[in-house]
Amino acid sequence: MAYSKLGEMLEKGEFILTGELEPEKTCDLSHTIQEAKEMAPYVVAANMTDSPLGIVTINSLAASAIVQRETGLEIIWQQTVRDVNKLGLAGMVMGAHALGIRNVLSLTGDHTNLGDVKEAKPVFDLDSATFVKLVREMVDKKSINGHEIECPPTLHVGAAANPNADPMEAEILKIGRKAEAGAEFIQTQVVYDLDRTIEFLRGIKKYGVPVLLGLFPMKSYGIAKGFDTFVPGVDVPKDVLSKWKGIKTDITDKKAQKEAYDQANYEFFKPFITELKSKNLLDGVHCMAVHYPRIFPKLVEVIKG
């Protein structure tokens, strides 16, 4: 049973491209709506982040509902277990359905200690696997703890995976738990290391959950360098960094520079994705290049064929 376009494509086994929207600390969603409109022609759906790094932003469910309503772009509501207990999450899942949301990505969430409201009580009543299980109980069994839901929600629920995790086996076996809990799709952390990605995707293939691989096309050298420096556990390859640096220093015309960055992303990711597709390891791509919607036509080229 499919409840959304994403669900339909998962059911049919079609290759999926999803995007990501990151609302900020504001009640004005106009920038997010604009970005959603720009990526809408190219993606099946877009994730709406939930206060990443524990830095408080507008509520993810509210943003999901508004952006989906305003743009028609299907949203994958990201919800962490950091700030809400089981009772609250169950209520939010019903609320999400009532607001027209049909996809949710279950996440642990970065610890409050990392963010800008450090004094807040970290909740973590459920974890990302047991939140998946809760959603599946609500959708499939139409109940919470065995108590019937009069009008039950219909949402597809996904989970995250980190191919960069070391030890990798600990992460692979953990994905087994998420699959057992009922995850219908996996979206991964950003990857740049092809060999490692192949090893990981082969490791989780046995669980039979469709995988959308996390990509982060880099809009500029500054973004690439920042990502490499500040995102723990993810290294941007040195040759990529030097190529991006070359574009920054060698091309002064802004328009030409933009085109060069876009082309460089295409040239890096095309063989990467082609290789993974040829090995039958991918079901889609999740593009996390927030504030870089112009890359989507090129990404569509990347995943073609």
Partner 1 sequence: MVVITTKKEVPEVLEALKDVNKIAIISCGTCAALCQTGGTEGLKYWSDILEEKGYDIVVGAVIEEVCDNRVMKKDLRKMDNEIAEADAILTASCGLGTQSIVEVLSNKYPKKPVITANDTQFMGMTERIGRFYMRCQGCGDCLLNETGGICPIATCAKGLMNGPCGGMVNGKCEVGNYERDCGWVLIYNRLKELGKLDLYTKLREPRDWSESGHQREVVFR
Residues of the shown chain interacting with partner 1 in the complex, contacts defined by CB under 8 A: 82, 86, 107-108, 110-111, 113-114, 122, 124-130, 133, 160, 162, 165-167, 169-171, 173-174, 176-177, 180-181, 189, 232-233
Instruction: Give the 3-state secondary structure of residue 3.
Output: coil
Dist CA 51 CA 287 (whole Å): 18
Cβ closer to partner 1: 7 or 52?
Answer: 52
Give the other-Cβ count within 10 Å of 127's Cβ.
Answer: 17
Minimum gap (Å) between residue 195 Cβ and partner 1: 18
Both structure tokens of 14: 């079609």
Minimum gap (Å) between residue 45 Cβ and partner 1: 21
The rounded Cα 93 to chain-centroid distance in angstroms is: 18
Which DSSP category does 149 fall into?
P
Cβ closer to partner 1: 233 or 271?
Answer: 233
Minimum gap (Å) between residue 110 Cβ and partner 1: 6
Minimum gap (Å) between residue 278 Cβ and partner 1: 28
Dist CA 205 CA 95 (whole Å): 33
Beta strand 284-287 with 45-48 is unpaired
Cβ–Cβ under 8 Å, residues 44 and 16: yes
Instruction: Give the 3-state secondary structure of residue 134.
Output: helix
Dist CA 64 CA 248 (whole Å): 35
Cβ closer to partner 1: 149 or 168?
Answer: 168
Both structure tokens of 139: 């959708």
Reference 73, options 100, 37, 32; nearest CA is 37
Cβ–Cβ under 8 Å, residues 248 and 257: yes
Beta strand 147-148 with 143-144 is antiparallel
Cβ closer to partner 1: 200 or 296?
Answer: 200
Minimum gap (Å) between residue 62 Cβ and partner 1: 24
Minimum gap (Å) between residue 40 Cβ and partner 1: 28
Cβ closer to partner 1: 68 or 128?
Answer: 128
Cβ–Cβ under 8 Å, residues 266 and 298: yes
Minimum gap (Å) between residue 112 Cβ and partner 1: 9
Beta strand 284-287 with 16-21 is parallel
Minimum gap (Å) between residue 282 Cβ and partner 1: 20
